[in-house]
């Protein structure tokens, strides 16, 4: 990590924020509230960590305007409208990604017909198949695998154990965390009762990740049966997420860990799926829709809506129903009490006023 020092005032200007305290403070790096020292910048964003803020030894803390009054003793504040974004940019400023080291490790295997840009870095025990292309400044970390005729754009990063299967395509600045899989066969079988057997339907399409996509560790994107499975530009996919064949994600989606999207479902732009969300196949999820953790989506979600629950519906309705769920034993008891009281009333009324003269179409 580089440790160039920078003026706090300059850092504030860099992110469009302002300083409360000493703009001349020299900052050498970023650290957590707990670990930061007087030459480091920390970050406060969640009221749960107020005690850590009060105790911090950080020279400066990035905060939202609403937290301006909470300045800890001895620390300056860098106030930013979007403190997490500001902090992310400052953190990247102090910890720039390592530049690729052009060349190939002698243990890497690059097949004769592969085209590897001379500025790319091919790590130890990595593999580049026949006809595959690796773009400028892309890095294959040790043990990553690019199968035949796959295309990797510029400035991509494949961590150890990442796999891109044949003919799949990565745009520029795509990042695959360790064990991420691109282009596995979709789960397509047709049942033949005469076998009986599940007959495999060829998964002859590809998977394509557009520019600036990131896949988490052991995230899986299946290739299409025909055509393409697509993860749209700027979309970020967390660890252990499943994206099935022929799914299409728009731009700037966020899929949190262990979510799964079944075959042929389409997500618009800016869709957010919480952790462990499941979405069944052949659905359409509109732009900017949000789905709460563990929800099970079984219907199209209109653009801009927030859904939760399994099966999922509107988040506000889910809040009410899931609160009422915990009152179910009480509801049952109250229902029994009502039945008792009503029966008593009926008995009393029957004694006072025998019902034989009473026509009641409902009692039939």
Active site residues: 245
Nearer to its own copies, 23 or 45 (CB): 45
Q: Which stretch binds its own copies (CB under 8 A): 2-10, 62-70, 132-140, 197-205?
A: 197-205
- Of 17, 42, 15, which is closest to residue 31 (Cα–Cα)? 42
Report CA-CA distances (Å) from 256 to 232, 248, 293: 16, 16, 8
Contact call for residue 116 and its own copies (CB under 8 A): no
Contact call for residue 306 and its own copies (CB under 8 A): no
Contact call for residue 210 and its own copies (CB under 8 A): no
Which residues 6+ apart lie within 8 Å of 186 measured at CB? 203, 222, 223, 224, 225, 229, 244, 245, 246, 263
- 23 and 40 Cβ atoms separated by less than 8 Å: no
List 277's β-bridge partners, or say none. none
Q: Which stretch binds its own copies (CB under 8 A): 50-58, 71-79, 132-140, 181-189?
A: 181-189
Strands 127-128 and 6-7: unpaired
Residues 67-86 that bind its own copies (CB under 8 A): 82, 84-85
CB of 296 to its own copies, least distance (A): 4
Q: If you count them, how many residues does the chain have?
A: 364
CA torsion sign for 302, 303, 305, 307 is: positive
Contact call for residue 212 and its own copies (CB under 8 A): yes
- Joined together, the tokens standing for residue 124 give 């130890």
Nearer to its own copies, 23 or 315 (CB): 315
- 212 and 233 Cβ atoms separated by less than 8 Å: yes
# of chain residues touching its own copies (CB under 8 A): 130
Alpha carbons 290 and 303: distance in angstroms, whole number:
9
Write the interaction track for its own copies spanning residues 252-271; mark x where CB under 8 A is met and - where it is not. Answer: x-x-xxx-x-x-------x-
Start-end of H helices in the chain: 8-15, 50-55, 83-94, 315-325, 328-352
Nearer to its own copies, 19 or 259 (CB): 259
Which residues 6+ apart lie within 8 Å of 313 measured at CB? 307
Contact call for residue 102 and its own copies (CB under 8 A): no
Contact call for residue 208 and its own copies (CB under 8 A): no
Peptide bond into 51 cis (omega under 30): no
Contact call for residue 89 and its own copies (CB under 8 A): yes
CB of 333 to its own copies, least distance (A): 10
Nearer to its own copies, 76 or 264 (CB): 264
Nearer to its own copies, 23 or 310 (CB): 310
CB of 304 to its own copies, least distance (A): 15
Which residues 6+ apart lie within 8 Å of 271 measured at CB? 249, 250, 253, 254, 285, 286, 287, 288, 289, 290, 291
Residues 131-150 that bind its own copies (CB under 8 A): 141-143, 145, 147
CA torsion sign for 244, 248, 252, 253 is: negative
CA torsion sign for 52, 56, 60, 65 is: positive
Binding its own copies by CB under 8 A: which of 19, 181, 230, 231?
Answer: 181
Contact call for residue 294 and its own copies (CB under 8 A): yes
Contact call for residue 234 and its own copies (CB under 8 A): yes
Binding its own copies by CB under 8 A: which of 19, 238, 248, 291?
Answer: 238
Write the interaction track for its own copies spanning residues 8-27; mark x where CB under 8 A is met and - where it is not. Answer: --------------------
Q: Which stretch binds its own copies (CB under 8 A): 4-12, 19-27, 60-68, 120-128?
A: 120-128
Nearer to its own copies, 118 or 359 (CB): 359
Residues 335-354 that bind its own copies (CB under 8 A): 335, 338-349, 352-353
Nearer to its own copies, 121 or 238 (CB): 238
Peptide bond into 196 cis (omega under 30): yes
């Amino acid at each position: 990590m580089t440790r160039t020092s920078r003026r706090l005032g300059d850092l504030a200007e860099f992110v469009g924020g302002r300083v409360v305290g000493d703009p001349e403070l020299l900052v050498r790096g970023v650290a957590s509230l707990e670990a930061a020292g007087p030459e480091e910048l920390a970050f406060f964003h969640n009221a749960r960590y107020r005690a850590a803020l009060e105790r911090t030894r950080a020279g400066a803390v990035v905060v939202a305007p609403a937290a301006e009054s909470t300045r800890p003793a001895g620390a300056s504040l860098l106030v930013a409208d979007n403190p997490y974004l500001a902090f992310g940019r400052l953190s990247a400023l102090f910890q720039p990604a390592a530049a690729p080291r052009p060349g190939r490790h002698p243990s890497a295997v690059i097949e004769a017909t592969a085209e590897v840009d001379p500025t790319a870095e091919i790590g130890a025990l990595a593999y580049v198949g026949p006809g595959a292309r690796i773009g400028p400044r892309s890095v294959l970390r040790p043990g990553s695998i690019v199968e035949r005729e796959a295309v990797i754009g510029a400035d991509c990063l494949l961590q150890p154990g990442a796999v891109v299967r044949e003919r799949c395509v990565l745009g520029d600045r795509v990042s695959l965390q360790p064990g991420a899989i691109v282009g596995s066969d979709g789960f397509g079988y047709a049942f033949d009762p005469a076998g009986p057997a599940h007959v495999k339907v060829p998964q002859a399409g590809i998977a394509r990740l557009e520019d600036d996509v990131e896949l988490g560790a052991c995230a899986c994107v299946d290739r299409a049966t025909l055509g393409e499975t697509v993860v749209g530009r700027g979309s970020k996919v967390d660890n252990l997420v499943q994206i099935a064949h022929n799914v299409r994600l728009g731009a700037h989606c966020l899929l949190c860990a262990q979510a799964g999207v079944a075959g042929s479902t389409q997500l618009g732009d800016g869709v957010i799926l919480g952790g462990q969300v499941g979405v069944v196949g052949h659905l359409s999820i509109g732009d900017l829709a949000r789905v709460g953790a563990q929800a099970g989506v079984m219907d199209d979600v209109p653009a801009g809506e927030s859904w939760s629950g399994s099966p999922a519906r509107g988040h506000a309705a889910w809040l009410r129903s899931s609160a009422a769920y915990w009152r179910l034993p009480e509801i049952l008891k109250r229902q029994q009490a009502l039945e008792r009281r009503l029966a008593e009333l009926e008995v009393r009324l029957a004694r006072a006023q025998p019902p034989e003269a009473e026509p009641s179409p409902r009692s039939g």
